[in-house]
Chain A
Amino acid sequence: MINALDLPQELEDWNQHILKRAREEGLDFFDTIFYMLPYSYLTEIAAHGGFPRRYQHWSFGMEHEKLKRSYEWGMGKIYELVINNDPCYAYLLENNNLMQQKLVMAHVYGHCDFFKNNIYFQNTNKNMMDEMANHASRVDRYIRQFGLDEVERFLDACISIQDHISPLSMPSQSATPSEEMETEEALLRILKRKSNPENPDYMDIFLNSKEYIEFKQKQLEETVKKAQRFPARPQKDLLYFLLLHAPLKKWQEDILYIIRKERYYFIPQGYTKIINEGWASYWHFKLMTESFLKPEDFINFAMDHSGTLARHPHQLNPYLLGFTLLHDIEDRWNKGQFGREWDECTSRNEKLAWDKKLGLGREKIFECRLIENDYSLVDKYLTEDFCDKHKMFKYNFDQQTGQWVISDRSFESIKNQLLENLANFGIPHILVYDGNYQNRGELYLKHHHEGDLRQDYAWDTLSNIAYIWQRPVHLETFVDGKRKLYSYASEDKKELNDLEDQS
Chain B
Amino acid sequence: MTSIQVTDMIRNGEREKKRLNEKIKDKIKKNLKQYVTDESFIGRKGKKFVRVPIYGLRLPRFVVDGRKGGGVGQGEGEVGEALPGQGPPKQGKKGGKGQQAGNEPGDHQVEIDVNLDEMVELISEVLELPNIEEKGKKSSIKSKKIRWTNLRKVGPEATLDIRRTIKNSIVRNIIEGHYDPQKDDSPPIMIDRDDKRHKVWDEILERRTNAVIIAMMDVSGSMGDEQKDIVRTEMFWIEQFLKRQYDDLEIVYIIHDTQAKIVDHEIFYRISEGGGTNISSAYALCEQVIRQKYPPNEWNIYPFHFSDGDNWSSEDDALCVKLLKEYLLPNCNQFSYAQVTSKWGSGKFKDVLERAMEGMDERTSNKLVISLVKNKDGILDSIKEFLKKGK
Listed from nearest, the 10 A-B pairs whose CB atoms lie closest are: A460-B60, A61-B16, A402-B90, A451-B64, A314-B105, A401-B89, A397-B67, A61-B20, A396-B70, A3-B190
Among A52, A394, A451, contact of B72 (Cβ-Cβ < 8 Å): A394
CB proximity of A53 to chain B, nearest CB, Å: 6
Q: Which chain B positions have C-beta within 8 A of A162? A: 61
Q: In the bound complex, do residue A391 and residue B71 qualify as a contact, i.e. CB atoms below 8 Å apart? A: no
Bound CA–CA A226/B370 (angstroms): 66
B73 touches A313 (CB 8 A): yes
B89 touches A315 (CB 8 A): no
Q: How far is the CB of A469 from chain B (nearest CB, A)?
A: 15
Given that A315-B106, A406-B81 are known contacts, is A156 also in contact with B74, CB under 8 Å in the complex? Answer: no
Assembly CA distance A409 to B84 (angstroms): 17
* Contact code string A429-461 (vs B, CB < 8 Å = 1, else 0): 010000000000000000100111111111111
Complex interface: chain B residues within 8 A of A407 (CB) = 70, 79-80
Q: Is A135 an interface residue (CB 8 A)?
A: no
CB pair B17–A64 under 8 Å, yes or no, is yes
Verify if B15 is at the interface (C-beta below 8 Å from A): yes
Contact partners of B75 in chain A: CB under 8 A: 311, 313, 391, 393
| A/B interface sample: 21 pairs, CB < 8 A | A3-B192, A44-B9, A65-B20, A148-B19, A312-B74, A314-B83, A315-B106, A316-B71, A391-B75, A395-B73, A395-B83, A400-B90, A402-B89, A403-B82, A406-B79, A406-B83, A407-B70, A452-B68, A453-B65, A455-B65, A460-B60
Q: Is B1 an interface residue (CB 8 A)?
A: no
Q: Which residue of A lies closest to B9 (CB)?
A: A52
Q: A316-B71, A403-B87, A453-B63 are in contact. List 4 more A-B contacts (CB 8 A).
A: A56-B19, A61-B16, A152-B19, A402-B103
Give the interface of B toward A (CB within 8 A): 7-9, 12-13, 15-17, 19-20, 23, 57, 59-87, 89-90, 94-96, 98, 101, 103, 105-106, 110, 190, 192-193
Residues of chain B within 8 A of A455, CB atoms compared:
65
Are A428 and B62 closer than 8 Å at their CB atoms? Answer: yes
A464–B87 alpha-carbon span in the complex (Å): 34
A53 to B11, CA, bound (A): 10
A392 pairs with B70, CB closer than 8 A: no
A464 to B60, CA, bound (A): 9
Pairwise interchain contact B74-A403, C-beta atoms closer than 8 A:
no
On whether the beta carbons of B73 and A392 are closer than 8 Å, the reply is: yes
Contacts of B17 in A (CB 8 A): 61, 64-65
Q: Quick one: which of B7, B61, B89 contacts A461, CB cutoff 8 A?
A: B61
B72 touches A417 (CB 8 A): yes
**A160 sits at the interface (CB 8 A):** yes
| B-chain residues with CB within 8 Å of residue A401 when the two chains form the complex | 82, 89-90
A460 to B55, CA, bound (A): 13
| A40 within 8 Å of B (CB atoms) | yes
* Residue in A40, A314, A400, A451 whose CB lies within 8 Å of B94: A400
A313 pairs with B60, CB closer than 8 A: no
Report Cα–Cα, A414/B81, bound state, in Å.
16
Give B110's nearest chain A residue, CB to CB.
A62
- Considering only CB atoms, which chain A residue lies closest to B74 in the complex? A311
Closest CB in chain B relative to A48 CB, distance in Å: 8
Q: Can you name the residue of chain B whose Cβ is closest to the Cβ of A451?
A: B64
Verify A461–B62 contact, CB threshold 8 A. yes
User: What total count of A-B pairs have CB within 8 Å?
Assistant: 201
* Partner of B19 from A61, A315, A399 at Cβ < 8 Å: A61
Closest chain-B Cβ to A89's Cβ sits at a distance in Å of 14
Q: Which residues of A contact B76 (CB under 8 A)?
A: 391
Interface centre among B72, B90, B193 (most CB of A within 10 A): B72
Residues of B within 8 A of A405 (CB): 80-83
Known interface pairs A61-B16, A451-B68. Does A461 touch B60 (Cβ–Cβ under 8 Å)? yes
A454 near B20: Cβ-Cβ < 8 Å: no
**Chain B residues, Cβ within 8 Å of A426:** 64
A453 touches B64 (CB 8 A): yes
Residue on A nearest B19 in the bound complex, by CB = A58
Q: A393-B74, A402-B89 given as contacts; is B16 within 8 A of A160 (CB)?
A: no
Residue A248 interfacial (CB < 8 Å): no
Would you call A56 and B16 a contact (CB within 8 A)? yes
Which residues of B are found within 8 Å of A460, using beta-carbon distances?
A: 60
**A residues in contact with B90, CB < 8 Å:** 400-403
**Which of chain A's residues have a CB closer than 8 A to the CB of B19?**
56, 58, 61, 148, 152
Contacts of A454 in B (CB 8 A): 63-65
A159 within 8 A of B: yes
Q: What is the CB-to-nearest-CB distance from A346 to chain B, in angstroms, rounded to a whole number?
A: 26
Residue of A1, A148, A396, A428 near B63 (CB, 8 A) is: A428
Q: Which chain B positions have C-beta within 8 A of A464?
A: 60
| Cβ contact within 8 Å between B62 and A458 | yes
Q: What is the CA–CA distance of A461 and B81 in the complex, to the nearest angstrom?
A: 35
Residue in B closest to A404 when the chains form the complex, CB atoms: B83
Interface status of A490 (Cβ within 8 A of chain B): no
A242 on the interface (CB 8 Å rule)? no
CB distance B69 to A451 under 8 Å? yes
Contacts of B80 in A (CB 8 A): 405-407
Whether the pair A417, B70 counts as a contact (CB closer than 8 A) is: yes
In angstroms, Cα B95 to Cα A52, docked, is 49
Q: Which of A159, A394, A428 contacts B71 (CB 8 A)?
A: A394
> Chain A residues near B8 (CB, 8 Å)?
52-53, 136
Q: Give the shortest distance, in Å, between A426 (CB) and chain B (any CB).
A: 8
